[in-house]
Each structure stands twice: as C-alpha cells, then as structure tokens.
Chains A and B, each alone.
Chain A
C-alpha cells in the first residue's frame, strides 16, 4: 500500500489515488464551514479558530470576497486557500474584461475545481488540501451554492458543511432544511454550526449575501443575538419534550 501513495500520478491496484484521499483528510481537520442557500440570500457561517492573544483577528479571515457577486469560504490548509482565492479573483476580472459581464457562480466553481483537478494529475505537485464553498448570485438573480473538493469534483447544494464534524452538521441540515427554514438562512446556518461549535459570537463568523447587495459580515453582537434566540428556542423545545410532572 505504501508504494502507491507517494507520487499522486500513481493509481493503487484497487483504483485509489491516495494523495487525493489524504488531502481530503487534511480538509477534515480544518475548522467547520456551513453554507445555506435561501430564496433570495445565501449565508456562510464558519467556525472561528481561536486567535492567540497578541494576534490581530482581522487577518484570520475564512470568508473571502472573490468578486462583487461571488464569495468563497473553505476548510483545510489556509495557505492553499490563499493561492486559489488569488487565482480565482484574477479569473473573475479576466472574464469581465473579455465578456463585459460577470461570471456565473458555476463558471467560477468549475474554474476552481479545474485547478484542483489539474494538481491531481501533474508530476511533482500535491493536491490542494482544501474544499471550498462558493456562493453568489447569477445575472438571472438566482442564488447558487457550490462545493469543490481536492479531487476536483464540484457539486451544487441547498445547504452543506465542510471541515471537522461536517457529518454531524450535514445530518442536522438534512433533517432541518425546508423551504420554511430556508427563509431565515442565518438562523439555520447558525443552528447547524452550533451542533458542533461552542456558542458565542467570538467562535462563529457569519456573512450574508443578499440579492443586489454587497457582502455583509454580521457583527459579533448580532451573532450573539441570533445565538440567544436559538438557545431560547432550544430551551422551549426541551420543555415541551419533558413530560409534565404529576404528583
């Protein structure tokens, strides 16, 4: 087995590309990122890694504006993400220069995943150790949410999670995503993230992209507000579940 996981250009006898799978392991170690697509808005809620006391938190961003209408978040190796984000920003402007139009979200997702795939089929390079979440509005006004993986695969989602504990979060989203709950994407995204992250505005970063508006980062206070509402609703639900005490 060890012989088939050195160079990524080598398949293993049972059809695995081990380096790609190891890259996905790196993603599973990264902090969680959740994306939720509503009818006219899309939300990213990401786990904020605790910054050291003397560190400037402004430089530890996980949600990045790629273009006026496209936003990217990720889980995995931050430096790898920085490189991909840079190239994607250039591609957006290049597209605009050529076509005098903004690129669709799918175009960008395909572009990012195309780069990631190329790094699984070249000699001497390793795959990017990140999965990305790409959200945005197309020119037809529709919101879109895509996920890319180290393998170079990309898929569209209504709601998704990547990074550590993503299974728990995805299960929660599958159970609780509905047309009704999607109306308030921030609440749903926060509720999902709170399944695996400690409650508190300093542990969660939330950004919302509304149709026709630029990206908005929620302040820590605003996030705390949402968390309080969510905790109150949870308590209500718990109370209803407990059977009434009868003497």
Chain B
C-alpha cells in the first residue's frame, strides 16, 4: 500500500483549534439510491473564505464521501484513501465494495489515530450491485456504523430529529429532496453560523449525480 510513502508525520503535541463540527454533513439511503448533502462554507475563525466549497468527494463511479473537520486533513486523508482504493481496483480488476471501503478507511483512521491527532469526520455512501445503497458513519475517532440516516457536526443537533420524524425506508428521490429542504430550513433558522448554500449529490445504479435544489 501507499502507507510507507505517507509516513514521517511529526507527532508533536501542538494543539490546533479544531474546526471539526462546523461542517454540516447529512446523509440517508432511499429506494435504490443514497443521498449526501453538505453546506458549502469554507471558514476559519471569523473569516469566510468561500461559500462554494464542494465537500463531497467522488471516490469512484459509485462511491462518494462527505468530509468535515480540520481543513488540510480533510483533503489529505480522503485523497490517500481514494488512491489506495484505485490501486486495489487496478490490481484486482474490481473495485472495493462500499462495505469493504468503509472498513478499510476505518482501519486506516484507527492506525493513524495512535500516531497523531486527526479531526476528520466522514459520511461514506455507495451503491453496490446486488446490495443496493448503503451509508456509513465514520467519525474522527474511527468509530464506524452503517446507518439509514444521519447528520454530522453541529448540524446533527438540529437535523437528526427531523430525519427521525420524516425519513421512511422506501423514501423516493423527490421525497428525499423535500426532506433535505426541511433540514436546510432548520439549520438556517436555528444554527448560529450562516449557511446560505448547500450541495446535494445522489448515487444510484447509474452512478453519481449532482442535484439542483428546487427553486424557491
């Protein structure tokens, strides 16, 4: 694997103010699809750098990862996972299943955790032939759980209850978009940080698509 190439990280105890939690990551599975939505803020302290950030990485044709937490780690960690997953696919002729990918990532995060601090939360979503859509919650402590619906970050406080109330197992894509709009409304009403933009991506048997929010 590429682990040898990426080693050599200093393990100093410098405390950096962790920005983990400010990113809103929402995900759920539905009828033959899985959806991810995140806010589009890139900010530090009192400064907003951009409100067009795309926090959902496409790992391969049928997997995507919503990432939140400390800025540089949120780029380095998923990219490292993605390259190793691509290597696996080239070596073995088939890509990793979503289940295998989630476990692989969890294992790497666990390994890294015993060497340095890393504050990266992830929501992995994928579509596998024969299995269907699946959603995995992997937080910065490398806890992993397969779930039907969840939200990470401060958004979770506001949105998990909305998901509990309105999600159902056979939810359709249209209903899913409506559910997300309810979540966004809740965040924009009650969360202290202004979050004007959100990005929504869906994965189904045909791959990954970016969804437009319905006009007001």
Q: Tell me if A96 is interfacial: C-beta within 8 Å of chain B.
A: yes
Q: Which residue of B lies closest to A100 (CB)?
A: B79
Question: Closest residue to B1 on the A side, CB-wise?
Answer: A90
The answer to whether B90 and A97 touch across the interface, beta carbons within 8 angstroms, is no
Evaluate contact between B91 and A97: CB separation under 8 angstroms: no
Assess whether B83 is interfacial by the CB under 8 Å rule. yes
Closest to B82 in A: A97
B90–A65 contact, CB under 8 A? yes
Say yes or no for B2: interface residue by CB 8 A criterion: yes
**B-side interface size class:** 10 to 19
A residues near B2, Cβ cutoff 8 Å: 90, 93-94, 97
Q: How far is the CA of A89 from the CA of B79 in the complex (A)?
A: 16
Q: Closest B-chain residue to A88, C-beta based?
A: B90
Interface residues of B in 81-111 (CB under 8 A from A): 83-84, 86-87, 90-91
Q: Is A67 an interface residue (CB 8 A)?
A: yes
Q: Which residues of A contact B87 (CB under 8 A)?
A: 89-90, 93
Decide yes or no whether A66 CB sits under 8 A from chain B. yes
Knowing A90-B2, A94-B5 are in contact, say whether A66-B90 is a contact too (CB < 8 A). yes
Known contacts A94-B5, A97-B2; A89 and B90 CB within 8 A of each other: yes
A residues less than 8 Å from B90 (CB atoms) = 65-67, 89, 92-93
B80 within 8 A of A: yes
- In Å, the complex CA distance between A96 and B79 comes to 9
Smallest CB gap from A65: residue in B: B90
Is A213 on the interface with B (CB-CB < 8 A)? no
Assembled-state Cα–Cα distance A97/B83 (Å): 7
List B128-158 residues whose CB lies under 8 Å from chain A: none
- Min distance, Cβ B66 to any Cβ of chain A, angstroms: 20
Judged by a CB distance under 8 angstroms, whether A55 is at the interface is no
- Mark B6-41 against chain A: 1 for CB-CB distance below 8 A, else 0: 100000000000000000000000000000000000
Check: A86 CB closer than 8 A to any chain B CB. yes
Q: B86, A93: Cβ atoms under 8 Å?
A: yes
Q: Are A96's CB and B83's CB within 8 A?
A: yes
Near B by CB (< 8 A), chain A positions 79-97 give: 86, 89-90, 92-94, 96-97
Q: What is the minimal beta-carbon distance from B73 to any residue of chain A, in angstroms?
A: 15
Nearest neighbor of B93 in chain A, beta-carbon distance: A65
- Known contacts A94-B2, A94-B5, A97-B2: does B83 contact A89 (CB below 8 Å)? no
Q: Chain B contacts of A86 at CB under 8 A?
A: 91
- Minimum CB distance partner of B86 in chain A: A93
**Which residues does chain A contribute within 8 Å of B83, judged by CB atoms?**
93-94, 96-97
CB distance from B148 to the nearest CB of A (A): 33
Q: Which residues of A contact B86 (CB under 8 A)?
A: 93, 96
How far is B86's CA from A5's CA once the two chains are assembled, in angstroms?
42
The closest CB in chain A to the CB of B85 belongs to A93
A86 to B91, CA, bound (A): 7
Looking at A67, A92, A94, A97, the one whose CB has the most chain B CB atoms below 10 A away is A97
Task: List residues of A (52-106) whose CB comes within 8 Å of B's CBs.
Answer: 65-67, 86, 89-90, 92-94, 96-97
A155 to chain B minimum Cβ distance, whole angstroms, is 25
CA distance A96 to B82 in the complex (A): 10
Binary flags per residue of B64-87, CB closer than 8 Å to A gives 1, else 0? 000000000000000110011011
Q: A89: nearest residue on chain B (CB-CB)?
A: B90
Question: A201–B5 Cα gap in the complex (Å)?
Answer: 43
Knowing that A86-B91, A93-B86, A97-B80 touch, tell me 8 more A-B residue pairs with CB under 8 angstroms.
A65-B90, A66-B90, A89-B90, A90-B87, A93-B90, A94-B5, A94-B83, A97-B83
Question: What 4 pairs across the A-B complex have the smallest Cβ distances?
Answer: A93-B83, A97-B83, A93-B87, A89-B90
A-B contact list, 27 entries, CB within 8 Å: A65-B90, A66-B90, A67-B90, A86-B91, A89-B87, A89-B90, A89-B91, A90-B2, A90-B87, A92-B90, A93-B2, A93-B83, A93-B84, A93-B86, A93-B87, A93-B90, A94-B2, A94-B5, A94-B83, A96-B83, A96-B86, A97-B2, A97-B5, A97-B6, A97-B79, A97-B80, A97-B83
